[in-house]
Amino acid sequence: MPVSTLLSPFTMPFMQTAAAEVAVLAFVAGIVGPQVVARRLGFLSHALGAGAFPGLVVAAAVGLPAQLAALATGGLMAGALNRLVRHGRVATDAATAIVLVVSLATGVVLASNVFTTTVGVDRLLFGSLLSIDNGDVRNALIATAAIGLVAAACWRTWRYAAFDFQGARAAGRRVSAADWALLACVAVAVVVTLDAVGSLLVTALLVVPAATAWITGVRDVWLAALTTVIALVEGLVGIRLAYELDIPPGAAVAVIAAAGYLAVAGYSRLRRSARADAAASAVATTGRSAA
């Protein structure tokens, strides 16, 4: 297929807006994603996205700003998690799973029996990347700038704490403040991503590209740069696929992201196996020569 045919949908205004949103969110993924992967916050990020579902249902029904509702429900979820972990003697993963299930169930009940909304549940769950407007892109730009400023101030501490938390604290780093800043950045990143891929597929943009880049072995600034490129390519391919097949764009982006991760993981495993075989062969050859 000619390149001009592949790119022809991007001449339409709504595809250009979607591409602009993907480009902005790719930078968000590049900043937040590596920290989420390094600190093993992927499940929490997914839970924050799913936890926003009830707030999105209410916002769509009564006309509230979706981002404000998502932030409010995210705050409630964080409070519930804190109470379960600190006072309920529940492991963090188990507490996150409990709050995740309750949030999804509450959203389904609200959408089915309490509120009547013109916005479909599938759009809330899987996003509406092809129907966003310039205001959504502007909000994403503002959020990206804010996250970038926080990251510039906390990057060294985040990097230190990701690999040696106790060492960072012993070195006098303000680890607690940096952790709260990181969680705030993750929450804002989740909220700004909701319009694009929905509450269930936030990890497709925030976590999976960073996990894919992590497999390659690059770290620090190069990890952030590679994550941004991967998120951008997967997002653009996803919206092109969604346009071609008339499927939800969030789901298309998630499928492309998962395929990319599996491809890179498989290639990395083959390379490690080939290196191991080459090393074993070299050792065997050296042994025979010595004999």
pLDDT in tens, 167-193: 877 787 888 888 888 888 988 898 888
pLDDT of residue 18: 93
pTM: 0.85
CATH superfamily of 3-290: ABC transporter involved in vitamin B12 uptake, BtuC (1.10.3470.10)
pLDDT in tens, 214-255: 999 888 889 999 999 999 999 999 999 999 998 888 889 999
More confidently predicted of 53 and 153: 153
pLDDT of residue 114: 64
pLDDT of residue 44: 80
More confidently predicted of 121 and 147: 147
User: ∠53-55-61 over CA atoms, to 5°?
Assistant: 105
- Report the mean per-residue pLDDT for the chain: 84
pLDDT in tens, 38-51: 988 888 888 888 88
More confidently predicted of 126 and 100: 100
pLDDT of residue 265: 93
pLDDT in tens, 53-111: 888 888 877 777 777 888 788 777 767 776 776 666 677 778 788 888 888 888 878 87
